[in-house]
Structure 1
Amino acid sequence: MKHFFSIIGGMGTIATESYVRLINHRVKIKRDQDYLNYILVNDAQVPDRTAYIKDHSQPNFFNDLKADVEGQALLHPDFFVMPCNTAHYFYDDLAELTDIPFLHMMRIAVHNFIENYPDEKKIGLIATEGSIFDHLYEDEIHAVGREVEFGGPEIQPMVTELIYRDIKEKGVVDHDLYHKILQTMHDKYGCNVILLGCTELSLAQEKAPDHPYHVIDPQSIIADVSIELALKIRAGKDPQEVISKYMY
């Protein structure tokens, strides 16, 4: 297969399915051959990311991802994409395993925020406890001179319930709970823009977009970037030149 990219997924599987669905439905097609070429590694056995980040006595998920990346690198994809925010805890270590470009989901999302909302000085962040605990998005946001609002103590239990109890355990999106989280971040904590720092939250946005709030959806953004890169590379442009603008 010529000109394909590798997706390191399965964290979780339903969220990865959402990413694949986005790239399949957003690419413009007139025939089967217009779809993108990709290999999906849906590694559902990767240990829980948040559990390890918060407690290093829990199973380390790095070696599972290392094996996935090294295995795919042997096939020489044009680039890697990993539709899981919390797994970017090991982004630098994974990217060092190969010379193949590895898109940084969080960084691309934060730069999208800067480009589309240049006058906003802060952004609301809802994410897994692991991402927040290790400042994964917070550091990227501070690096571009913006502040982060996490909301009060009532926010994280609602976010955790939506991610783990509803989506991961039951495979359903609680529309009302998702909208309540966004409304609380906007009305009570003054967040004009809210960043969805977990791909399960991106799935919630896909399934329940009928709300008036501005969100930055990293999974939606990385899906668009994946399509743009894949099509430009297929058209004969140099992969490194095309990808360089996304390698912040």
Structure 2
Amino acid sequence: MKDFFSIIGGMGTIATESYVRMLNHRVKISRDQDYLNYLLVNDAQIPDRTTYIKDHTKSNFFFALREDILQQAQLKPDFMVMPCNTAHYFYDDLAKLTDIPFLNMMRIAVHHFVDEYPQEQRIGVIATEGSIYDHLYVDEIEKVKRTVELGGPEIQPLVTRLIYTNIKEKGIVDAELYHHILRTMHDQYGCKVILLGCTELSLAQEKAPDHPYHVIDPQSILADVAIELEQQIRAGQNPKEVVQKYLYQ
């Protein structure tokens, strides 16, 4: 297969399914051959990211990701993507494993926020406890001279319930809970824009988009970027050149 990219997924599986659905349904097609070429690694056995980030005595998810990336690198995709925000805890170490371009979903999303909302100096962030604990998005947002609002102590338990109890454990999206979280971040903490720092939250946005709030959805943005890049590569452009503009440091 030529002109393809690799998806390092399975964190969790139905969130990855949502990412693939975005890829497939956003491409304009009139025949089978118009769809993108990609390889999906749905590694459902990768240890929980938040559990390790908060307690290093627990199973380290780096090694499973390392194996997945090295396996895919042998196939020489045009680039790789990893639709899991919290797994970007090891992004720099993983990117060093191969010379295949490895897109950073978090950095792409943060730069999209700056481009889309240039007047906004502050953004709300909801994410896994692991991402919040290690300041993953806080650090990236501060690099672009913006500030972060995480909300009060009542926010994280609600977000964790939506991600883990509802989506990961039951496979359902509690739309009412999702909208309540967004409304609280907007009304009580003044967040005009809210970043969805977990792909389960991206799934919630896909399934329950009927709300009035402005969100930055990294998984959705990553889908659009992958489509743009792969279509340019298919049209004959050099893979390393077209990917370069999204390799933010």
The bucket for the TM-score relative to the shorter chain is over 0.9
Deviations 1:16-35 (Å, cap 9, x if unpaired)?
00000000000010000000
Cα distance in 2, alignment partners of residues 239 and 6 from structure 1 = 13
The aligned counterpart of 1:141 is 141
The offset of 1:240, in angstroms, is: 1.1
- Tell me which residue corresponds to 1:41: 41
Counterpart residue number, 1:76: 76
Partner AA of 1:181 in structure 2: I
Query: What displacement does 1:183 show?
Result: 0.2
CA distance in 2, matches of 1:159, 1:217: 15
After TM superposition, the runs of 4+ consecutive aligned structure 1 residues lying more than 4 A away are none
| One-letter amino acid of the counterpart of residue 65, structure 1 | L
Distance 2:232 2:93 in 1: 28
What is the identity percentage for the equivalent residue pairs of Structure 1 and Structure 2?
A: 76
Partner amino acid, structure 2, of 1:237? Q
TM-aligned CA deviation for residue 216 of structure 1: 0.1
Q: What is the letter of the counterpart of residue 60 of structure 2?
A: N
Which residue pairs with 1:190 in the alignment?
Answer: 190
Q: Could you tell me how far 1:120 is from its partner in structure 2?
A: 0.5
Q: Scaled by the length of structure 2, what TM-score is found? A: 0.99
Q: Say whether 1:242 aligns with 2:242.
A: yes
Q: How many residues align?
A: 248
Superposed, 1:93-108 pairs within 5 Å as 93-108=93-108
What letter is aligned with 1:82? M
1:119 and 2:122 correspond: no
Amino acid at match of 2:228: E
Q: Distance in 1 between matches of 2:125 and 2:76?
A: 35
SS in 1 for 2:58: coil
Q: Quick one: distance in 2 between partners of 1:189 and 1:13? A: 32
Pair 1:230-2:230 in alignment:
yes
Quick one: distance in 1 between partners of 2:107 and 2:25? 24
Question: Counterpart in 1 of 2:161?
Answer: 161
Q: TM-score of the superposition, structure 1-length normalised?
A: 1.00
Instruction: Name the Cα RMSD after superposition.
Output: 0.3
Amino acid at match of 1:38: Y
SS at match of 2:245: helix
Give the deviation of 1:241 after TM superposition. 1.0
SS at match of 1:41: strand
Q: Which runs of 5+ in 1 are unaligned?
A: none
